[in-house]
Amino acid sequence: MTKKTSKKKKKVLNLAKKKGFLRVRDVKAAKLHPEYIRRLVKTGKLIREGRGLYRLKEADITEHHSLAEVAKRVPNGVICLLSALRFHNITTQLPHQVWIAIDVKARVPKSDELSIRVFRFSGDALRKGIEVHTIEGVKVCIYSPAKTVADCFKFRNKIGLEVAIEALRECWRERKATMDDIYKYAKICRVMNVMRPYMESLQ
């Protein structure tokens, strides 16, 4: 291996470390040949997570690894509902899929390796209440606790009213949001009338 090749491989590894997950287009954008990815996978320096997605072998894997992976594959998606509840630790549910919100006009992401459940959001219900968290070096968009609780009531027919009520109570008990925040997103999600009696019971 020439000194030049070794230097370019090191650049690819540094890129993977910086981004958390590495895609072929990231390498091309850095004016490096994708062949270096194949060589680094062969030597065990990089691990293939899925089609066109790689990470460092020694990268720290967290309990939210799947969220980072989905965020990298679906950059315009927002982690929502059960997956957001789990991230904020305000549910006893353990979703087997990563739940994401996308625009009503967005193309549904396809992935053979990842289990994703897609929900269509629009307007302020899509844009408001987004927090950006860094997971394994990847910036992940996740709805805030208050927004997620309101979303759960909006999609109560999908997840169950009991789950939505539990989320509201845990969010309040753990002080993850103020009542004003919850009211704000209840209005945005148009579930104020549904949520009001449960919210009043907490005050």
In order, the DSSP letters of 49-118 are EETTEEEETTPPP-TTHHHHHHHHH-TT-EE-HHHHHHHHT--S---SSEEEEEETTSPPP--SSS-EEE
Distance CA 73, CA 52 (A): 9
Q: Domain spans of the chain?
A: 3-56, 65-200
Mind listing the pLDDT tens digit of every residue in the chain (203 residues)?
A: 566 667 877 887 777 777 767 777 777 887 878 787 888 887 877 778 766 777 776 665 667 888 988 888 888 999 999 999 999 999 988 888 899 999 998 888 776 566 889 999 999 999 999 999 998 888 999 999 999 999 999 999 999 999 999 999 999 999 999 999 999 999 999 999 999 999 999 87
Q: Which residues contact 55 (CB under 8 A, 6 or more apart)?
A: 16, 20, 21, 22, 46, 47, 49, 136
d(CA 147, CA 51): 32
The region, left, alpha or beta by phi > 0 then psi within -120 to 50, assigned to residue 160 is left
- The residues, any chain, with a CB within 8 Å of residue 38's CB and separated by 6 or more, are none
Q: What is the pLDDT of residue 58?
A: 67
pLDDT in the model for residue 113: 60
Find tokens 């997103």 and name the residue: 185
Residue in the block written with tokens 């992401």: 109
3-56 is classed CATH 1.10.10: yes
For tokens 């680094």, name the residue. Answer: 40
Residue entry with tokens 């969220």: 67
- Closest to 100 (Cα-Cα) out of 68, 61, 124, 123: 68
Q: By the 8 A CB rule, do 146 and 183 touch?
A: no
